[in-house]
Every structure is written in C-alpha cells, then in structure tokens.
Structure 1
C-alpha cells in the first residue's frame, strides 16, 4: 500500500473510530440523565473529572515522545514497563483523593470504578504508540471504535437490567479490559521490537519525560479545577447540568483533536529536517482550521442549539434554560483543542520548559478565578473561568513555540 493511501486510510479509520468512541461515551451521559436524572449525572461527572486527571498522569504525556523517539534511545520494553509504573501510581492517587474528600461512600466507589475503566486507556495508549510509529493508525481507530461500542452496550445493559450505576461501570471496566488484553496488546506486540535494547532504562525514561507528565497533569487540571469548584459550591445537580451541556460541545474538540493526531509524525519529520517553510505552513493551516471551527460552532448553536438540546434530552425541558451556556463551552472546546495541538508541537520541539510554563500559567489563572466566578455566575462562571485560563495558557505556549521555532529555523 502506498504511503499516501495509507495516510488516507489512517486519517479515515482513526477519525471515525475515535468519533465512535466519543459518541458512545457521550451516550453514557445521555442515558444517565434519561434513566437516573441529574443527580446520577452529577455523580458520574465528578468521577469523570477525577478519572481524567488520573489518566493524564498515567499516560505521562509520553505518547508523542514515544512516537518521535526515532533514534531508539529507549527500548519498546522500557516504554511498556514505565507504563505499568505510572498506571499503578495513578490509581492509588485517585483512591487517596476520593477517600480524602467528603464524598459519599457511593461516590467514592463510583470514582474508583470509573478511574479503573479510564486507566485501561493508558495501558492501551503505549501499545497504540507502537502502531502509530509504524503508521498503522487505522488499527488504532478500529480499536477505539470497538471499545466504544463495547462500553455503550455494557452501559445500556447495566442500567436497564441492574439499574445500578456502580455495577454498570464495573461491567464497562470488565469488557474493555478483556478487549485490551486480547486485542490491543496482541496488535501492539506485532509492531514492537522487544529484542532490541535501548541505552537507558525505566527510571531514565520517567525522569526525562517528567516535564511531559507534569504538563499533561497540569493541562487536565486547567479545566478540572473549575469543575471541582462547580461540584463543591453548587452541588451535584448543577454539576449534572453543566456536564450535560458540555458533552455535545465537546464533540468539536474530539473530532478536531483526532484529525490532528495522524499528522504528528509529519510535523516531527518537518521539524527534524529543519523544513521551516513546510512547518510554518502546517501550523498556519492548523490555526485557520481552529478559527473556522470556532465560527462554525457558534453558528451551529445559534441555528440549532436549543432544538438540539430538546432532542438530546427529550423529556427533560429544564435543561433548555442553560442553552446559552453552549456559547462559552464551544469556545472552551476549541481553545482546548488549540492548547493540545500546541503541546504536541512543543513536545516535538522538546521545549519542556515552555510546556511547563504554559500549563502553570493556565492552572494559576484557573485556581485564582474559579471560586469567585462560580460563586458570582454559577455554572456560567465555571465556563468563564475555564475559558480565561485556556486563553492565558494558549498565549504562553504560543510564545514559547515562536521562540523555539526562531532558534530552529532562524530569523527567516
């Protein structure tokens, strides 16, 4: 198969597979509202927020580093062993956080179960890294699509038959774990080389990627902190409303992010070859794409926002009072996509200081304004705090990108 044909196949399968995965995850948000109400939606949303932070640490920001390790400094076995370590730490940390806060016993166990379910993604991620390095993102897309469908079927069966959110999440965990163990790991081994040894071990890899892990964790916290204050200050019901409005807006972020992922190797090649013209052209196209996405998102809300929510949450008319919340949340999703793209590019550039500085700036703003804005404006304040933090984060990351590009390609 020609390189160009394989690239098209990668783009198609990866995008469709990840959109299916996200759509199935979004279906869980709809089902929990339809079958359990906004209280259960709030319980699930809190678990999702904490699990996302655990997942970000478990992945350790290492995927792009792994894929762009073209010289083989670290062996494939080292990448797998490092993931076992970060997974273990992440799950223990999620458990400590759940039991250290004044959550109900049910909420604590839901957090643990959902964290276990999401952390399967971290295990799969390292095996998918081998596939991506071999430019087989089509297999990655198939995996996401099937695991998404497994999750959706498990969630429907659990809620309908058991009517118990905790047991339903445990069923999702079991089905995804089986697929990851027997399919994802098998495919990853096919493209991995466990006979080859690198020049450094697990500790050296974790130490070198520590800035990536820190940036990845901080990056999730930028948007997680406002949600934390939302749940603590406004309660699980308001958190349920916020998450129910945010879910359809996040479709933009997921679609845009996974459209970009297959091009990481292209950006890495342009950077390593010092093709400044090609690199700048690619970045400009990405920026134009984000701007168009923002405009299309706002137009979609203006034309069909209220109608869409009435369809998605049929029989729950109270959600329509929050329709205008879609506007700032669309802004948040597009900004989040832009930040993720910048972080990928800074990782390719190996500009670790810039990654840390940009994410620290974002989390500092998030911590400073989330409480007062949530108190003053309710769930809208949560959205405003998230958007302001992302804007600051994006600006700082962009400045470091500009400086590092100037050094790589020269004043030209």
Structure 2
C-alpha cells in the first residue's frame, strides 16, 4: 500500500477528486490573483515611497538577480513530479531535492550578487531569495495536490499568498519606508500560508517529510539536467533579438517593443493555465496504453491554445490601442502595429513550452532538450535577418520562427514516441528512479 493511500484524512478517506474543468478554473483564478498581487507590489513600492525611486529600483534589482537563478532552483522538477503517476519517488524526496537545489542556487546567487551589485543590495537580494524559496517549497506541495486532482487547494493557496504578501508589504513599508523589513513581512506571510494552509491540506494525501539519499539526489540531477538546460535555452530565445535591437536601434526601440508586448503575455499565461492541469493526465493515458484518449486530449489542448490565441488577437485588435494608451500614454499609439506579430510570437512560445513539457511527462528529456536548443540556435541567424529588415517587428518574427522550428523538432519526437508506445526508456527510468533510502535522513514537517 502506498503512502498516499495509507494516510487518510480526518474524514476517513482521501478527499474527492475534482473535474478537469474545476481544476482549471481554480488554478487559473489563483494564479491570476497571485500574479496581479505581485505586480501591485511593484506599484506599491513606488506609491508609498517618499518622493524617491531608490527602493523601487532596489526591489527590481533583487527580483532580476533572484530570477536569474530561479531556473536552477526549480530544476524543472514541477513537471517531473506531477507526471510521476507511478509514485516512483516520495513527496519527501521531492522536498529534499528542492531544498538541495535551493541551497546551491542561493550560494550561486549571492556570489553573483557580490560581484555585480552594490554592498547595500546584498541583504535585499538574500531576503528576496528567501521569500521566493518558500514559494518554491510550496510548489512541491502543490504538485502533490495536482496529482490527487485537488487544484482548488492550489488556487486558494495562491490567493492567500498573493493577498497576504501584498498586504504585509504595503503595511510594513508604509509604516517604516524600509524595503528589507517589508520583504521580511512578505516572507513571514508566505511562510504562514505554507504552514497553516498548504502543509495541512497536503497531509490529507501523504506524509509531509524531507527525505533525500545521495543516490536519489544524483538521479534527479542527472535525469532533469537536459530539461534545465532546455529551459534556460527557451528563456533566452527572445533575449538575443531584443539585445540586437537595442544595439542597432537604441534602448528606446527596445523599451517601446517591451511596452507593446506586455498585454500579449496573457496568451502565454492562458496557455499554461489550460495545459498545466493536464500534465498528469497525459502520461497516465499514455503509460496505461490509452493512445486514442491521449491523442484526443492532445488535439483538444492544441485547439484550446489556438482558440486562446485567436480570442486574444481579436480582442487586442479592437482594444489594443486603447489599452496601450491607458497603460503607457498617447506616445505609444504609433506603435500599435507591433501588437499582432507579438501575438504570433507569443503563441509560438506557448506551443514550444507545451510540447516540451509534454515530452518531459513522457520521460523524453533529451527530446525536450533537442527542440529547445534548436530553437535557441536558430534564433541567432534569424535575428540578423529579421531585425535588419523589419526593425522592431523583426524581434517577433525571429522569435516566432525559432520557436516554430523548435516545435517541429518536438513534434517529430512526440510522433516517434507515440508510435513506439510506452517504451523501454520509461521502464529503465522507473528502475533507476526506484526508491533508495540508503544514507538518507528523513524529517517530518
């Protein structure tokens, strides 16, 4: 009997699973609330500052520096965990590995900050890292919630995190004008959400422990490394054409492009909220031999992403100019023509992420690596060709072209994987990832 089935809630059994639609709605509502509150935090620090933008700049610096190392702290384990349908690894092992990557990334982050930031910024960077680290620990608990099809817990947690951290930041910063104390308040708020909400809810499914052996740590490091490199490559695809645009046309051109691109990010978020709750259903269908159901769900997901893109393109065609002027002023109006190519590039990025994550759930890590690295490599020649011809629109065309090439590679691997069915690679992965408690220490939370 598994840990999850052996550990029952106070009501005498595991909580009832929700429908796919309900899980999507809760996940979307919670995630949107959290993102809105995080964005409002950057507004609050400006509004409540006494006439200077120093703290706003310092907060932005801390966010940027910590963000650089977020990929390595995450180590792409979220997708791996929620697609671990055979429970090859325990929640405690995922928590233990997350603690390991957080510790290693913290050291790297602070070394980087030491050489690139002013001395007074180091404490702010460290505190903001600690705040984000608690959120990454909560993500592991959310993985268990999703595997058990209770994403209402996830949505409610995101809402609590967003509202409580925003309120804590606003109150403390408003009273003290001290950015570090305000970040400490956010850290306390998110920790309370984890301890008082996420841990008790996760215990309805399994024990919440921290447990990691050297052998399992090495397995995670080795297995997910291609996905981590792929994630870094994917995140850098648009960096290349943006930097080239700034080089040949100036910082103002890049600033205009970035401003116009802001509303189109809803497409990426919408796509992630659409396919995220399905990343444990796809591998279950595949490895149980329900290829017909797998393909039907794949078709619906692809059509869903296309539908989200089309809806956003139509809406932004009518209100895009108004929305941009509302956000950035009338000076942005002459550049509305950038919006539709940006939507195309954003949709291409969404498909690159989706097919890459899907291949990870099917344990095709090197296939995911190949597709994303191909996209990154191809964006370099496309950048020179497109930006030199279309200037700001060239950023969108270069990024879209690179992402679509990557998608074609990923699709090729996906077709090959489906034709083979559940292959020996998956079975070998399961064998290598079998539980090994030798040399591990378990701590129950």
Q: TM-score range by the shorter chain?
A: 0.7 to 0.9
**Structure 1 residue 138: deviation in Å?**
0.9
Cα distance, 1:381 vs. partner?
4.6
**Equivalent pair of 2:127/2:180 in contact (CA under 8 Å):** yes
CA separation of 1:382 and 1:33: change in aligned 2, threshold 3 A: farther
Q: TM-score, normalised by structure 1?
A: 0.81
Please name the residue that 2:98 is paired with.
83
**Match runs of 1:133-144 below 5 Å:** 133-144=147-158
Partner residue in 2 for 1:122 = 136
Structure 1 residue 273: Cα displacement? 1.6
C-alpha contact (below 8 Å) 2:344/2:396 kept by paired residues: no
Distance (whole Å) between structure 2 residues aligned to residue 305 and residue 17 of structure 1: 25
Match in the other structure for 2:311: 296
Rounded to whole Å, the distance in 2 between the matches of 1:367 and 1:297 is 28
CA 1:146–1:323: 2 relative to 1, 3 Å: farther
Once the two structures are TM-superposed, the CA of residue 234 in structure 1 deviates from its matched residue by 7.9
1:97-122 C-alpha deviation (Å, 9 max, x unpaired): 44545x66677776655544434332
Is the CA contact (8 Å cut-off) linking 1:226 and 1:385 kept in structure 2? yes
SS of 1:69's partner is: coil
Query: Whole-Å Cα distance in 2 between the matches of residues 123 and 222 of structure 1?
Result: 28
Question: 1:360 aligned to 2:373?
Answer: yes
Counting matched residue pairs gives 407
Counterparts of 2:163 and 2:198 in 1: how far apart (Å)? Answer: 15
What SS class does the counterpart of residue 222 from structure 1 fall into?
coil
Rounded to whole Å, the distance in 2 between the matches of 1:382 and 1:110 is: 33
Instruction: Say whether the 8 Å CA contact 2:386–2:395 is kept in structure 1.
Output: yes
CA contact (8 A) 2:48 2:173 kept: yes
| Structure 1 residue 390 displacement after superposition | 2.0
Say which structure is richer in helix.
Answer: 1
Change (3 A) 1:197 1:218: same
Q: Please report the TM-score for the alignment, with normalisation by the length of structure 2.
A: 0.76
Task: Name which of structure 1's ranges 75-84 and 60-69 shifts more when overlaid on structure 2.
Answer: 60-69
Per-residue deviation at 1:42? 8.1
Following superposition, the deviation at residue 134 of structure 1 comes to: 1.7
Match status 1:217 vs 2:203? no
Q: Gaps (5+ residues) in structure 2?
A: 1-13, 424-445
- What is residue 277 of structure 1 aligned with on the other side? 292
Deviation at 1:360, TM superposition (A): 1.0
In the alignment, the residues of structure 2 paired with residue 219 and residue 86 of structure 1 have an alpha-carbon distance, to the nearest angstrom, of 20
The alignment status of 1:92 with 2:107, answered yes or no, reads yes
Note the alpha carbon deviations across 1:44-97, whole angstroms, 9 max, x for none: 667655544422221211122222323332222211110011112223333344
Match of 2:327 in 1: 312
8 Å contact 2:359–2:414 — kept in the other structure? yes
Note the C-alpha offset of 1:240. Answer: 5.6
Query: Within 2, Cα distance between the matches of 1:135 and 1:22?
Result: 22
Q: Is 2:62–2:124's contact at 8 Å kept on the other side of the alignment?
A: yes
CA distance in 1, matches of 2:183, 2:245: 23
Contact 2:168 2:185 in 1 (8 A): yes
The question of whether the paired residues in 2 share the 8 Å contact of 1:41 and 1:240 is answered with no
The answer to whether the 8 A contact 1:29-1:244 is kept is no
- Where does residue 183 of structure 1 map in the other structure? 197
Query: Does 2:73 match 1:58?
Result: yes
Counterparts in 2 of 1:159 and 1:389: CA distance versus 1, 3 Å? farther
Give 1:357 deviation, angstroms: 0.5
Instruction: Measure how far apart 1:190 and its partner are.
Output: 3.9
Secondary structure of residue in 1 paired with 2:207: coil
Q: CA RMSD in A?
A: 4.0
Partner of 2:82: 67
2:76 partner SS: coil
Q: Is the 8 A contact 1:58 1:90 kept in 2?
A: yes
1:151·1:175 contact (CA, 8 Å) conserved in 2?
yes
Counterparts of 2:58 and 2:290 in 1: how far apart (Å)? 49
Q: Is the alpha carbon distance of 1:329 and 1:47 closer, same or farther for their aligned partners in structure 2, counting shifts above 3 Å?
A: farther
User: Which of structures 1 and 2 has the bigger CA Rg?
Assistant: 2
Give the equivalent residue in structure 2 for 1:132: 146
